[in-house]
């Protein structure tokens, strides 16, 4: 069995702002944390599509097999250090003549320890983790750690693994293919 693990570290845009005496401070865009922490949940809405890639010689371009399977859920947001919330999706995709690929995806909202909560932001540093496990026709585990801008309205992630002379996988995406 081949395991593929992809990790991406969260990135937040740094926007210069003027502090006292004209000093420049770097930080998130104005209102970013307030808007994020004011919400009690995040609505996730997107799609999952399966694909196959012929690798009998050199690997060709992946071709969609089952496209645009809708996925939607509401993910609660934790408000205390050390807490997390999670939603999950399970979908099965048939590959004609090859078998079935099962996708189990979990999306976590995590409130890390060590931040200093404020009235306007009870969970500074909140981030999200997306984990996808493939089983059946191919086995793989893929994941990504992202910020709120990368998880809303839906996380984007590709996960795949070899299956004989092919590679097969699932892509999570925001707009129909």
The residues spanned by each domain of the chain are 40-173
Percent of the chain past pLDDT 90, that is, above it, reads 72
The pLDDT tens digits of the residues spanning 97-132 come to 899 999 999 999 999 998 889 988 899 999 999 999
CB atoms within 10 A of CB 110: 19
pLDDT at 36: 46
What's the CA gap between 159 and 115, in Å, rounded?
32
The pLDDT tens digits of the residues spanning 42-84 come to 999 999 999 999 999 999 999 999 999 999 999 999 999 999 9
Q: What is the rounded average pLDDT for all residues in the chain?
A: 84
User: Which residues, 6 or more positions from 76, have their beta carbon under 8 angstroms from its beta carbon?
Assistant: 40, 41, 85, 109
Distances (CA, A) of 74 to 48, 90, 110, 153, 169: 17, 15, 15, 11, 25
């Amino acid at each position: 069995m081949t395991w593929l693990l992809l990790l991406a570290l969260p990135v937040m845009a740094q926007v210069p702002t003027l502090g006292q005496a004209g000093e420049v401070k770097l930080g998130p865009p104005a209102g970013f944390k307030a808007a994020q922490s004011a919400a009690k949940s995040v609505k996730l809405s997107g799609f999952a599509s399966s694909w196959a890639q012929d690798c009998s010689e050199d690997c060709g371009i992946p071709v969609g097999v089952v496209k645009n399977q809708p996925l939607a859920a509401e993910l609660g947001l934790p408000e205390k250090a050390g807490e997390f919330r999670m939603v999950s999706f399970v979908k099965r995709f048939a590959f004609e003549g090859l078998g079935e690929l099962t996708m189990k995806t979990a999306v976590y909202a995590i409130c890390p320890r060590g931040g200093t909560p404020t009235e306007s932001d009870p969970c500074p540093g909140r981030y999200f983790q997306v984990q996808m496990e493939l089983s059946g026709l191919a086995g793989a585990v893929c994941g990504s750690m992202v910020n709120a801008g990368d998880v809303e309205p839906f996380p984007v992630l590709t996960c795949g693994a070899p299956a004989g002379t092919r590679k097969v996988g699932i892509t999570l995406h925001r707009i129909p293919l």
